[in-house]
Chains A and B, each alone.
Chain A
Amino acid sequence: MSTALLIEQLLNGLQLGVMLFLMAAGLTLIFGVMGLINLAHGSLYMVGAFACATVAAATGSFWIGLAASLAAAALAGAIVEILVIRRLYERDHLDQVLATFALILIFSEGTRWLFGSFPLYLDIPPLLQGAVPLPGGGQYQLYRLAIIGVGVVVAVGLYLMIARTRLGMRIRAGESDREMIAALGIDISTLYTVVFALGAGMAGLAGALVGALQSVQVGMGEPVLILAFVVIVIGGIGSIKGALFGAILVGVVDTMGRFLLPQALLFMLPPSQAALVGGALASMLIYIVMALILAFRPRGLFAAHS
């Protein structure tokens, strides 16, 4: 195993983590501010990917598609918040889970109705094709580096927005005491719509970025959603910082597990068995990590307020 391969795999883990962060940040923000469990977050990811693929195919430009994905997902988020989610804030988590699960089904069948059952095509833009050299003689794909870059920019932007702007102040206030900021004359329902649209926009961006790497198809959001939930549980529900650390931890642990576990087992088992057992263990690894973290820190690494 060379250094170059190791560095490449670490970057792969980081890239997966950054992508999970874009999903988890919105999820945890919505939970932190509104106390809502949104299972339909994966559908907004799918909306972003479909919007990007459709617009990119029509205009020939990935970048217009990317802008469209942000706009479409944020708009879909705002509409869903106003029509459905708004009625759920006062209800308990079971009702929220049921209603947002229904939204998954509506989004999935609606998307099929509009776009058909066959997966769509989306390629990475010519500007980001190719690879850059790594120390140690390896190469790394430029597009994946760009995803890491986007993740860093979004993380910094989100931090600045929450720490330095009026909107961020209101979001923090909403997290600590909802009734009080409403009493102070802040239009809480607009704030909720904005926060929901912001989370949706980030999910849509993630969907579009990842759509160029994999297939744009109905149901693409749900596997990512499960990982995003693991991330926010590890990071501490409601904490953006927790989402960032949790996402990178999950991304790196998952990638390195898939890479190293089968090789480690080669010392004990014949190759075919090592691949089988190693693969099975690797798929459990992040859940084992989650269980361990919860055993020692039941509220996650960066527990937000109760």
Chain B
Amino acid sequence: MKLIAAGIFSAALALSSTALAEPVKIGIITTLSGGGAGLGIDVRDAFVLAVEQSGNEEIELVIEDDGQKPELAVQIAEKMIQSDQVDLMTGIIWSNLAMAVVPNTVAQDIIYLSPNAGPSALAGANCHPNYFNVAYQNDNFHEAMGQYAAQNYKNTFILAPNYPAGKDSLTGFKRFYTGELAGEIYTQVGQTDYAAEIAQIRASGADSVFFFLPGGMGIAFMKQYAQSGVDIPVMGPGFSFSQDVLPAVGDAALGVKNSASWSKDLDNEANKRFVEAFEAEFGRLPSVYAAQSWDTANLILSALSKASVKDKEAFRAALKEADFESVRGEFSFNNNNHPVQNIYVREVIKEGDVLTNRIIGTAFEDHSDAYAKDCPM
């Protein structure tokens, strides 16, 4: 009896140690140079920190900078698959880079987990069992703002850059917005002066403004909007009011309503631990990109404790269970491997000298995306 018990115990030990000690190679392609580097650095830092804190020493990270260039990202992906022989890939920030890398990667039976980009083309009919989006589908934050605007305003002026994500943004907004449109403008990508657009907003008689202008474009727009003295309330997706850009926008952002799946003050244990650990390690507040990357790392860790990464079928099933403590609270995967999660409305506030966000309401509970119904999975 004793012998059998010992046998079972050692067998269990052997099993669990193989599950834990198995070496895993994860490729991270992200943007660490150029104008968009702030986002990639947050993704990298949060991922590395999450792996460090797990104590799992068998995970090897291969981190490369894509410079926000699709052609470079494709080369790096090829190198990671062919010569580094990574088991999993993650890290890409931008939708155009994801479109260049993901379809080819998942076709080679490498599992890719997106910590940020969620282009509609990968969420619908072209969904793939090897592609997991841990962040959002691109339309989600815009839909949430459309929902918020429908409840609060009647005549909204909307603007976005003239490129696929910009069109998706306004489409997503209009999907839930029921009021009138005071105007609709597509600006140039990389545009930095919005005087002409702001003059039109002033003249339009709108009762609110919705804009999606990622990166430096949003900073420029917000500053110029505040300087122009137009006092029509502004709202937008959380990207333009994330922790990485708020210091550059300054007080112009105060009071602006924006949408995101995560906020620093979200009340759950995992989030408290995350914000504390991130701030202690890097001396700055995490952005929504850092939160998504932290979740991506923890999702991978949870799946590794259940299945071998070499057994793709079992590993995919373990990922799909999403059995990890998300900093966003409730989190699960839809049929198209995209998140089902709450989207919150946040407001920019000042804590001491630091600009940050707090949650003021929930736009959607357990929100999925409009493309899942086209996905055959």
Contacts and interface: CB of A to CB of B under 8 A. Distances in A.
A48 interface: no
B229 A276 contact: no
A280 B35 contact: no
Contacts of B37: 112, 117, 218
A279 B193 contact: no
Given A2-B203, A123-B250, A218-B37, A213 B224 contact: yes
A30 B309 CA distance: 59
Contact of B34 (A210, A218, A223): A218
Contact of B248 (A124, A129, A217): A217
A129 B226 CA distance: 11
Nearest to B252: A123
A214 B185 contact: no
Contacts of A262: 185
A275 interface: yes
Contact of B247 (A121, A144, A259): A121
A190 interface: no
A259 B203 CA distance: 12
B239 to A, nearest CB: 14
A272 interface: yes
Contacts of A278: 186
B196 A259 contact: yes
B10 interface: no
B199 interface: yes
A223 B192 contact: yes
Given A121-B250, A218-B37, A219-B35, A130 B193 contact: no
Contacts of A2: 203
Q: Say what secondary structure dominates the interface of chain B.
A: helix
A121 B250 CA distance: 7
A25 to B, nearest CB: 19
Contacts of B370: none
Interface stretch (A4-12, A59-67, A156-164, A198-206): A4-12
B203 A5 contact: yes
Nearest to B221: A214
Nearest to A118: B38
A255 B196 contact: yes
Contacts of B203: 1-2, 5
Instruction: Find the residue from B167, B186, B220 having the highest chain A CB count within 10 A.
Output: B186
A278 B181 CA distance: 17
Interface in A102-144: 108-109, 112, 117-121, 123-124, 129-131, 139, 141, 143-144
A220 B191 CA distance: 10
A119 B248 contact: yes
Contacts of B190: 223
B41 interface: yes
A138 B41 CA distance: 44
A165 interface: no
B195 interface: yes
Contacts of B192: 210, 213-215, 220, 223-224
A96 interface: no
Given A262-B185, A276-B162, A280-B186, 15 more contacts: A9-B196, A9-B199, A12-B196, A15-B195, A117-B38, A117-B41, A118-B245, A119-B219, A124-B227, A213-B192, A217-B219, A223-B192, A276-B167, A279-B186, A280-B162
10 contacts: A119-B219, A141-B227, A141-B228, A143-B227, A213-B220, A214-B224, A219-B35, A262-B185, A271-B181, A276-B167
